[in-house]
Amino acid sequence: MNIEPIVNGVVIDHITAGQGMRLYELLGLDKLDCSVAVIKNAMGKRGLRKDIIKIDQEIDLDLDVIGYADPGVTVNFIKDGKVAEKRTIDMPEKLVDVIKCRNPRCITGTEQELRHIFILTDRKNKVYRCMYCETQA
């Protein structure tokens, strides 16, 4: 399999094996008008399987979405064929309009203009709760 190196763009690396397509969908990468490669079950240097997403364009990514979906992912920003910046993404303290409250009685269900805000309440168990009704995501 040949995937060309990226000159200017983004590489999302160390995605938990099997989570690449979920992240692709959450980030809305299908709407991009550039080459995007999703590599599933690639063998990492430590002998563990991982997914990788390569985006052949400089774009703004919602790092909160990445941190929510798969904390520990590495995002590499590529400029002129070299890694210009490398970030390891952690779980955000607050999620805004990333997920929606599933409680049918939550105010976000009736007040359409309200933003869907979730607060990280348990980092160890990856628990987020709705800011308005405290329903677990």
Residue ranges covered by each domain of the chain? 9-88, 94-130
Is the confidence at residue 3, as pLDDT, over 80?
no
The CATH code of domain 9-88 reads: 3.30.70.140
Q: Per-residue confidence at 44, pLDDT binned at 50, 70, 90? A: confident
10 CB-near residues (< 8 Å, 6+ apart) = 54, 55, 57, 58, 59, 61, 75, 76, 77, 78
The pLDDT of residue 130 is above 90:
yes
Cα separations in angstroms, 8 against 19, 35, 109, 116, 131: 24, 12, 41, 33, 38
- pLDDT tens-place string over residues 47-87: 789 999 999 999 999 999 999 999 999 999 999 999 999 99
pLDDT digits (tens, 9 = 90+) for 83-103: 999 999 999 999 999 999 999
Confidence band for 115, pLDDT divided at 50, 70 and 90: very high
Q: Residue 122: beta bridge partners?
A: 127
Q: Is the dihedral of CA 41, 43, 45, 47 positive or negative?
A: positive
Q: What is the pLDDT of residues 13-23, one digit of tens each?
A: 999 999 999 99
